[in-house]
Structure 1
Amino acid sequence: MPDDALGDDDVTALVARLRRREVSAAELRAAVAGRLATVDPVLHGLGLDRTDAPVVGNPEGPLAGVPTLVKENTDVAGWPTTNGSAAYVPAPARAHAAVTQQLLGAGLDLVGTSRMPEFGLNATTEFVDVEPTRNPVDPAFSAGASSGGAAALVAAGAVPLAHANDGGESIRIPAAACGLVGLKPSRGALAPSAHGAMMPIDLVADGVVTRTVRDTALVLSAMTGRPRVEGPGRRLRVGVMLHSPAGGEVDADTRAAVERSAAVLDAAGHVVEPHRPAVGKGFVDDFLVYWGLLAFSVAAGGRTAFGRSFDRSRLDPLTRGLARHFLTTGPRRPGFLRRLRRVAYRAEFTHHDVLLSPVLAHRTPELGWLHPAVPFEELRERLVRYVGFTPLQNVAGAPAVAVPAGRDGRGLPVGVQLAGLPGDEARLLEVAYELEATRVPQRCALR
């Protein structure tokens, strides 16, 4: 990257420079425009470019003047909301979403949208007939999903942070794939999601992806009014979970990253012990039916939700496959919603304050491995194994944060997850600071 107003600063440092008037909001937006022009022709993470006509946030907000992107499933008045889908022609949104209002209230300037897979249903930002979003560390690999465009462009240094949201994995997976910090807050910690409000079980939490723990702590404070978490806290009981409810093996590099992180916390004085999940394969099967129900709802109700232009035949093969899975499997799992609502999440914390686990069972895959056109049965099994550690917190409405934990043998980022009980965001960030302090920062290939 050429020298510009963004420099190598994170959000916290940029806010300080803005307050000292060493840089202006206009200069930051110009720097973002220049960087997007450099990296996005390779990464394809940008949806709508509004760097020349941003929606400017509250000039008195704690993040005033900092530019960001909004995920393309979130309404910004006057901008089309695509949901990553080619199945309909989006009209301009009539009003801001509640979380958009929060972002603007915190002072952030909205300079465009970031890409996502269709309706956020996949764990990679890939499409049937257009370019995928690529990982800036190695463009042959996935940037994760569903907030894949957000993570790719933050990791590449094009924007200092980006809005993201998470209905099963969608903040934490791309954060882990791209070497970022990604906090999924507790249900209700931020403004309620319109998407979540329509679900039988509200899975959706909004947040951001950032390059540092202190940035995530700053944004959480700016958007909620809570005190900012500024460093490590008290010693805790940490359970280390290397077996997901989905079963299957964790790859060697991921296991090593979790074990290194556990050793860091042990050396810092925490009580670190093995943990086996109380929930098992039944939870995974119930969640998969619910995942299918969400896809079926899109297919069946698309014209009502998105207008007359909606054409279900243009939905991608994964969305259609999930909808069929619900129709064929749902009747064989009566009570799946009741069981999910009653999942015994608190039982996971009988002996531990925080759970440490992988974010993903294996490193981010090469593009194509999770492509939506992979035969559905095969793709479903790949996805279940890959994302087995993340959906539990969405069902329970609990927080979890992805924290960078080094690189694998090919130089790709590996992330670990810290999970807690509802309301435990501060505790998780305190532990995340300790893990971050031992990490050697590494630049991505395009920065």
Structure 2
Amino acid sequence: MTDPTPKIHAFQDDALGNDDAVALKERLNRGAVSEQDVTRAAIERLRQLDPQLNALVVECFDEPRKSTPGQNGSLSGIPSLLKDNTDLKGIPSRHGSAAIQPHPARHDGAYAKEFLAAGLTLLGKTALPEFGFNATTEPAHDEPTRNPWNPAFSTGGSSGGSAAMVAAGAVPMAHANDGGGSIRIPAACCGLVGLKPTRGRHAVSETARPLPINVVSEGVVTRTVRDTALFHAEMERVHRNRKLPPIGHVQGPGHKRCRVGLMPDSINGTPTDEATRRAVEDTAHQLELNGHRIEPVAPPVDPSFPEDFKHYWGMLSFLATAGGRFAFGKGFDPEQVDGLSRGLYQRFRRNMHRLPAIITRLKRTRKQYARFFEDYDILLSPVLGHTTPELGWLHPDVSYDTLMERLSAYVSFTPYCNTAGGPALSMPMGWTDQGLPIGVHLAAGHGQERLLLELGYELESG
């Protein structure tokens, strides 16, 4: 049995203890602990952990950011962190890039406003790879963020800084966002719960609004399903998209027995490694024992999807690099972008003429996705094509062709839900021989986050 505590952690007998956000909030409500004590404990834990994990890029310990007076949500007093691709007034946004000359943000970003309205206390901003493009948090210009389960390994990306700090116990939950797997990948690597919501469930970030297909969803990484459920219930109070079914506050397993499509191998045909496949099959067996119906399925998407998504990824790099001075300020230096961003940019330049056809095909995935979920309730797969790699395997200094080959084999399941706009949940359901967590991926129809959370509770309880 693997020890459930990471090798690097800050769990101790202080105001935070071993509590998740739900338990901590209960103690705050009955006065067993004060918000000031909780904030101080989180700051001390962040100070203790960051030299080992390198997950925090800027702190605001002297002046923590809180909601405005009168906005006391159900997460009021819970310490948290914001990913460093979201503006927080008065604090620079670096986006993981040496090309950006950091300057204090003039305003809170759209999602930061919602995050603060939920009552969370923000203590700093977390590391990510450049522009969130990589599946590991290893900026070319800085030290890597290290996995608290084994510091020689990746935290995943792009929300790797948030995942490292939550897994190691600095805060119960932290902001993450997901344009191709960036909530679910680090959740899988760090043994956390990561829900990517349906497109449009929360505020759309400033950088995502102009995109021809908005692939980005906002959320958090947490250590428990009930924390993720509480967060999304609170965010629904702050902002409700009336076009989507309500999630509500999910507090346990549901009664619905689901028809589950099992897809152990990826859309691009890359075989899944043995440990990851075993975790998925064990999860399928657990669901089957609980009365759910499991059926093998083929990938419900065009064979062209993997290459089309890479081209879209290249378009994002083109927009960030060519438009960097507009997006990030006059001090932006495109010569300083890393090897992955540069390679994606060049790929797009060579194939720019194909973009209209590619956008048309990618937009079609939404209807294909919806058709699949007319027959099935859940699509069960790995989060990733293989177990968490060591640091360096996906470093942006690796030659572009080699790096893309490695990323294609690794990030081979998650992008589909971003393009289709559907919700998906990463759950920690297995272990590697090195004692690292393995995540399993559950996707559902548009607006079906409630079903995913109910299944998450069911799997979490064993």
**TM-score, structure 2 as length reference:** 0.93
Matched, 1:211 2:232: no
Counterpart contact for 2:55–2:164, Cα < 8 Å: yes
Moved more, 34-43 or 139-148: 34-43
Counterpart contact for 2:128–2:139, Cα < 8 Å: no
| Aligned-partner Cα distance in 2 for 1:406–1:284 | 27
Matched, 1:29 2:39: yes
Counterpart contact for 1:135–1:178, Cα < 8 Å: yes
| Aligned-partner Cα distance in 1 for 2:361–2:302 | 12
Superposition deviation, residue 277 in structure 1: 0.8
Per-residue CA distance 1:69-112 (angstroms, 9 max, x = gap):
00000011111111111102122111111211111111101110
Counterpart contact for 1:83–1:119, Cα < 8 Å: yes
* 2:305 equivalent in structure 1: 283
| Aligned-partner Cα distance in 1 for 2:300–2:88 | 41
| Aligned-partner Cα distance in 2 for 1:92–1:360 | 36
Moved more, 289-298 or 83-92: 83-92
| Aligned-partner Cα distance in 1 for 2:354–2:78 | 50
Per-residue CA distance 1:324-380 (angstroms, 9 max, x = gap):
111123435650011101122123324211111100011110000000010001101
Superposition deviation, residue 280 in structure 1: 4.2
Moved more, 80-89 or 211-220: 80-89
| Aligned-partner Cα distance in 2 for 1:250–1:349 | 24
Matched, 1:134 2:139: no
* 1:157 equivalent in structure 2: 169
Per-residue CA distance 1:15-66 (angstroms, 9 max, x = gap):
1011011111111111111111211101000011112210112552111100
Change (3 A) 1:333 1:311: closer
Q: Identity of paired residues, percent? A: 52
* 2:64 equivalent in structure 1: 54
Counterpart contact for 2:176–2:182, Cα < 8 Å: yes
Per-residue CA distance 1:216-264 (angstroms, 9 max, x = gap):
0000001112520111111111111112112111011100100111011
Look up the equivalent residue of 1:304 and give its one-letter code.
F
Superposition deviation, residue 7 in structure 1: 0.2
Matched, 1:231 2:252: yes
| Aligned-partner Cα distance in 1 for 2:253–2:377 | 15
Counterpart contact for 1:179–1:415, Cα < 8 Å: yes
| Aligned-partner Cα distance in 2 for 1:434–1:275 | 23
* 1:44 equivalent in structure 2: 54
Per-residue CA distance 1:95-132 (angstroms, 9 max, x = gap):
11121111111110111001100000000000223100
* 2:438 equivalent in structure 1: 414
Per-residue CA distance 1:365-405 (angstroms, 9 max, x = gap):
00000000100011011111111100011111110010010
| Aligned-partner Cα distance in 2 for 1:71–1:333 | 30
* 2:234 equivalent in structure 1: 222
Superposed, which structure 2 residues align to 1:376-387 within 5 Å? Answer: 376-387=400-411
| Aligned-partner Cα distance in 1 for 2:453–2:297 | 21
| Aligned-partner Cα distance in 1 for 2:168–2:454 | 26
Matched, 1:200 2:212: yes
Runs of 4 or more, structure 1, over 4 Å off, are: none
Gaps of at least 5 residues in structure 1 are: 439-447
Matched, 1:184 2:215: no
- What count of residue pairs does the alignment treat as equivalent? 438
| CA root-mean-square deviation | 1.2
Counterpart contact for 1:277–1:348, Cα < 8 Å: no
**2:121 paired residue among 109, 114, 133:** 109
Look up the equivalent residue of 1:25 and give its one-letter code.
E
Counterpart contact for 2:174–2:221, Cα < 8 Å: yes
Counterpart contact for 1:143–1:151, Cα < 8 Å: yes
* 1:339 equivalent in structure 2: 361
* 1:20 equivalent in structure 2: 30
Matched, 1:76 2:98: no
Counterpart contact for 1:32–1:51, Cα < 8 Å: no
**1:348 paired residue among 357, 372, 384:** 372
Moved more, 1-10 or 109-118: 1-10
Counterpart contact for 2:98–2:141, Cα < 8 Å: no
* 2:447 equivalent in structure 1: 423
Superposed, which structure 2 residues align to 1:232-381 within 5 Å? Answer: 232-233=253-254, 234-331=256-353, 335-343=357-365, 344-381=368-405
Superposition deviation, residue 171 in structure 1: 0.2
| SS of 2:47 mapped into structure 1 | helix
Moved more, 124-133 or 358-367: 124-133
| SS of 2:163 mapped into structure 1 | helix
**TM-score, structure 1 as length reference:** 0.96
Change (3 A) 1:334 1:219: closer
Look up the equivalent residue of 2:230 and give its one-letter code.
L
Moved more, 176-185 or 234-243: 234-243
Look up the equivalent residue of 2:250 and give its one-letter code.
V
Counterpart contact for 2:253–2:455, Cα < 8 Å: yes
Moved more, 339-348 or 371-380: 339-348
| SS of 1:91 mapped into structure 2 | coil
Counterpart contact for 1:236–1:270, Cα < 8 Å: yes
* 1:445 equivalent in structure 2: none
* 1:443 equivalent in structure 2: none
| Aligned-partner Cα distance in 2 for 1:72–1:23 | 30
Counterpart contact for 1:214–1:230, Cα < 8 Å: yes
Counterpart contact for 2:135–2:407, Cα < 8 Å: yes
Look up the equivalent residue of 1:169 and give its one-letter code.
G
